[in-house]
Amino acid sequence: MKKEILKIAVMALISALMFIAVPETASAQFSKKQEKKLVKENEKMYKNKIKEYQKEGWKLAGGSRTLEVALLAHYKKLTDVKNKEFIGDVSQCKSINVCRQAALNNAQNRYASLASGNIKGRVESLFRADANMPETEIDKVIGAYEKSVQADISGSLVESYSIVKENGNGTKSFQTIFIINEEEAASARMRAMERSLKETKISIMEAEEISKFVNEGFNLE
């Protein structure tokens, strides 16, 4: 009986969070039918994620919230279409503080790698069309951009919740699930590219074309 009451309460809370607390910017972009579909999808993801965490032995790292409440709040944030989930993880660490910093570093490095990989091929094609562009300049731009993104993106990575589990050998596995706002992230990528281009021999026309590549969103997985 208690389980049934708890289940009903959780489902009611999900619905309340998804409908009542959806940001205006997101709700304006969804029809009623799309909103209902989004709620159902989030309910399904919530249930699956709880089962996955319980099966694998994950627990919420710190704070007074329960894992269930942290997940509900997380999926509420994802109802804003500009918000994306991004995960930083570490397989072996000892203290929570060290684990948390390592997870952040992992997220920064991985995001920077994805960002540079997203534009690398197109930038190389653009530069190689210019017979006067040295190969070293191409590598210099891509390398400087990735390094700059890595340094800048931390301000756009907002921790949603973190989970931890014991490995059984004195170490822990740790994950921080971040929310990244695409508009803020795009601004960080543009600043990173502007700095990178200042150090090179790129023409204004080429720089404008590269900026278009940088401003586009990309798959975070």
Report pLDDT for 5: 36
pLDDT tens-place values along the chain, 221 residues long: 444 433 433 444 444 434 333 344 444 455 677 667 767 777 888 889 999 999 999 999 987 789 999 999 998 898 888 999 999 999 999 999 999 999 999 999 999 999 999 988 888 887 776 666 667 777 888 889 999 999 999 899 999 999 999 999 999 999 999 999 999 999 999 999 888 887 776 666 677 778 788 887 788 87
Q: What is the pTM of this model?
A: 0.78
DSSP-derived secondary structure for 15-66 = HHHHHHS--HHHHTT--HHHHHHHHHHHHHHHHHHHHHHHHHT-EE-SSSS-
DSSP 178: E
pLDDT value for 58? 95
**How much is the pLDDT for 132?**
66
| Domain ranges for the chain | 1-81, 83-221
- Evaluate whether 92 touches 171 at the Cβ level (below 8 Å): yes
Q: Name residue 16's amino acid.
A: A
Q: What is the CA radius of gyration of the chain?
A: 21
Q: For domain 83-221, which CATH number applies: 3.10.129, 3.40.1760, 1.25.40, 3.90.930?
A: 3.10.129
Judged by DSSP in three states, 123 sits in helix
**What's the rounded Cα separation, in Å, for the pair 148 and 83?**
22
Query: What is the predicted pLDDT for the residue at 13?
Result: 40
Give the separation between CA 115 and CA 96, rounded to whole angstroms: 28
